[in-house]
Amino acid sequence: EDQVTQSPEALRLQEGESSSLNCSYTVSGLRGLFWYRQDPGKGPEFLFTLYSAGEEKEKERLKATLTKKESFLHITAPKPEDSATYLCAVQTDSWGKLQFGAGTQVVVTP
């Protein structure tokens, strides 16, 4: 059975304090690994897709990396507006359905 596990469950950071979120996966065939951001009361908002081990993508203070077993979302010098729940998801079929992890809730304080 495919599994997606995110850690930690929650992370509290001071503004400017860099950190990393982990997404480990056990799947039968990875077609893509996705990172989303979700703000309270909103739907998930797409951040990145990674397709193969060694791939990296960046957007502002966020950088996502992928290995054969896990993905990391690095937050560099975070700001309070980076506070959100970060979700990772895997796609293993050709239809595009995503299986999500439980998420990491990030709080950045000034």
Partner 1 sequence: DAGVIQSPRHEVTEMGQEVTLRCKPISGHDYLFWYRQTMMRGLELLIYFNNNVPIDDSGMPEDRFSAKMPNASFSTLKIQPSEPRDSAVYFCASRAPPGDTGELFFGEGSRLTVL
Tell me which residues touch partner 1 (CB under 8 A). Answer: 31-32, 34, 36, 41-46, 49, 51, 87, 89, 91, 94-103
Classified as helix, coil or strand, 81 is helix
Tokens of 97: 């359905």
- Pick 87 or 108: Cβ nearer partner 1: 87
Q: How far is the CB of 22 from partner 1 (least distance, A)?
A: 16
Q: How far is the CB of 15 from partner 1 (least distance, A)?
A: 28
User: How many helices and strands in the chain, by DSSP H and E?
Assistant: 0, 11
